Amino acid sequence: MSSPFDVTIENGLFFDGTGSPPAPRHVGVRGGRVVAISEAPLPRGPGTRVLDAAGCWVTPGFIDLHTHYDAEVELAPSLSESLRHGVTTVVFGSCSLSLAIGTPEDLADQFCRVEAIPYDVVRRMLEQRKTWSTVTEYFEHLDTLPLGPNVSSFLGHSAMRAHVMGIERSLDRTARPTEGELARMEGILREALDAGYLGMSVMTLKWDKIGGSRPIRSRPLPSTYARWSEVHRLCGLLRERGRVFQGVPDAATKVNIVRFLLESAGLARAPLKTTIISLIDLRADRLVYRLVGLAARLANTWLGADFRLQALPEVFDLWADGIDLVVFEEFGAGAAALHLDDPAARARLLRDPAYRARFRAEWRSRLLPKLFHRDFNQSEILRCPEERLVGKSFARVAEEEGRDVVDVFLDLVAQHGPALRWYTVMGNDRRGPLEEIVRHPDAIIGFSDAGAHLRQMAHYNFPLRLLRMVKDAAREGRAIMPVERAIQRLTAEIGDWLGIDAGRLEVGGRADVVVLDPEGIDGEVDRIAEAPVEGFDGVVRLVRRNDRAVRAVLVNGRLAVQDGQVLPEVGTRRGHGRLLRAKA
């Protein structure tokens, strides 16, 4: 006689993801689906795997709606660094970048410098493994990978534009797509939507730059050269199909956020699902999160928009090896240094007096727009061949040596390069504003950038950090939101808005399940560590490890994580994650 269930999860406090109050329940899983949710104990068979969830929370798998796993999913499809934190569905194709269409060289040039991913690794991988040439074939390819979590994707506008126009023309300010090229872009996007892509992503912020060694190096991404009329025309297809428009506004000037808001508006037409990055309490501008949040509220209330601001429920901190940090792309002198790949050439530039004068003027300018605070007081040297400097800020070193802090910084970078490791905080460092952000009705919780900025950011476990925030506030007698609402924000709210089959636990539904030990959701979720990245030639990335928090993770009914450890079979053969297509 066969077992009635493949897996039973017993004695846990059950959250369905919809925001309903939790209740003690037993969950039965068979064939990758939830087939029983019961107050009474469930029968076991000889083949039933039993997970005892006594004292634990049983929740739907978390959804990460903004990653750059496009390359890592090819090299290490387990995507274990998200899976181990209870993330069972990831979305890539973000920020106009996608590996769905284009040549290996064009795709590597667009992707690697922007996302701080090793160029040689990605270029070699694409040249060896890229068998697809259309957006449909790319999804068919993803469907063959031995995925850890489920995956879904946007179509990147930069990739599509470069493919249709040729990358040189797509990066020419004077070139405009012909009517035939616009029609071809529409055809590709229509094909992608038919295949189940979530929608399209665009980029309008010019400090994300092309990499590689061709003369186009250091130009902004192709999407930034498009007039809004081109974007608007493509958005017509998204609106018609009820799909998502994901964008990065020109946050340096902040003006074109209005275009995204108006594009989303639903007056006399269907609203367009639109999401941008990011709702963040910036150190550089303490007012902007309030203004952007108010604008979203007004657009959704008065203009009939369907607009969401991506937000992280945690301090937004950054690590840097020398000057290799994306925020230095924000101003001309910083971008000029990052343009140079050769360490010796970069060091010569950093020592040049004329360059230093330019860097100093731009760093301190009150007129140039900025997202990064550019305050060397807000820094800590973590590692340096000159050990006497470790633990100090660049400002303190300058004070002790009686020198200008910009000269101190540039001298240290020129001398030590990536051997100089330092830390700073971009924003979300104030508890009150951060709690406002995670409660904001137009926020959508995500924007981890998982799979990118491997040495610079570690936001993979953002769901656990939201739960810790809510849990700690409740213990202090302050109510940010109920736990069930926090879980809803991390699961069904995202899945429903994106239009994918994820984020709920219900009979007949997908068995993506997380078993959490609330006692393990503590200060450990903030602790930083380092771990090698599988498939990336010895690259070590920043991670946060909280193995006591995640007791088990099931993806499509199969156990993938147990006691905080990703099981060795995950990512080696098919059977865990699936490609999730947008609902028609």
CB 112 within 8 A of CB 538: no
| pLDDT of 1 above 60 | no
Whole-structure pTM value:
0.96
Residue with tokens 């897996």: 7
pLDDT single digits (tens) 87-143: 999 999 999 999 999 999 999 999 999 999 999 999 999 999 999 999 999 999 999
**Mean pLDDT, rounded, of the chain:** 95
Would you state the structure tokens that stand for residue 273, as one six-digit string? 């699902």
| pLDDT of 516 above 50 | yes
| pLDDT of 227 above 80 | yes
Would you state the structure tokens that stand for residue 178, as one six-digit string? 């012909």
Give the Cβ contact number of residue 3 at 10 Å.
Answer: 15
pLDDT at site 573: 81
Q: At what angle do helices 179-195 and 228-241 cross, to 10 degrees?
A: 30
| pLDDT of 3 above 80 | no
CB 28 within 8 A of CB 38: yes
pLDDT single digits (tens) 234-275: 999 999 999 999 999 986 666 789 999 999 999 989 999 999
At residue 207 the predicted structure's pLDDT band, cuts being 50, 70 and 90, is confident
Calpha distance 510→556 (Å, rounded): 6
Distances in whole angstroms, Cα of residue 454 to Cα of each of 87, 117, 204, 460: 18, 7, 23, 11
What is the bridge-based pairing of β-strands 49-52 and 57-60? Answer: unpaired
Calpha distance 254→279 (Å, rounded): 12
Calpha distance 218→324 (Å, rounded): 14
Calpha distance 411→264 (Å, rounded): 47
Choice between 537 and 29, residue whose per-residue pLDDT is larger: 29
| pLDDT of 370 above 90 | no
The average pLDDT across 454-468 equals: 96
What is the bridge-based pairing of β-strands 23-30 and 7-14? Answer: antiparallel
CB 269 within 8 A of CB 307: no
Calpha distance 63→214 (Å, rounded): 37
| pLDDT of 575 above 90 | no
**Which stretch of 10-19, 63-72, 252-261, 481-490 has the lowest confidence by average pLDDT?**
252-261
pLDDT at site 253: 65
Q: At what angle do helices 431-439 and 288-302 cross, to 10 degrees?
A: 20
Comparing CA positions, the residue from 116, 143, 141, 144 lying closest to residue 126 is 141
pLDDT at site 369: 80
Domain boundaries, the chain: 319-425
Contacts of 581 (CB under 8 A, 6+ apart): 139, 152, 195, 196, 197, 500
| pLDDT of 312 above 60 | yes
pLDDT at site 437: 98
The average pLDDT across 373-377 equals: 95
Cis peptide upstream of residue 223 (ω within 30 degrees of 0): no
| pLDDT of 371 above 60 | yes
Give the Cβ contact number of residue 179 at 10 Å.
Answer: 7
Give the Cβ contact number of residue 145 at 10 Å.
Answer: 16
| pLDDT of 2 above 70 | no
Calpha distance 27→488 (Å, rounded): 19
CB 417 within 8 A of CB 347: yes
Contacts of 389 (CB under 8 A, 6+ apart): 381, 397, 412
| pLDDT of 57 above 70 | yes
Would you state the structure tokens that stand for residue 557, as one six-digit string? 């009914």
DSSP element (H, E) containing 88? strand 87-92
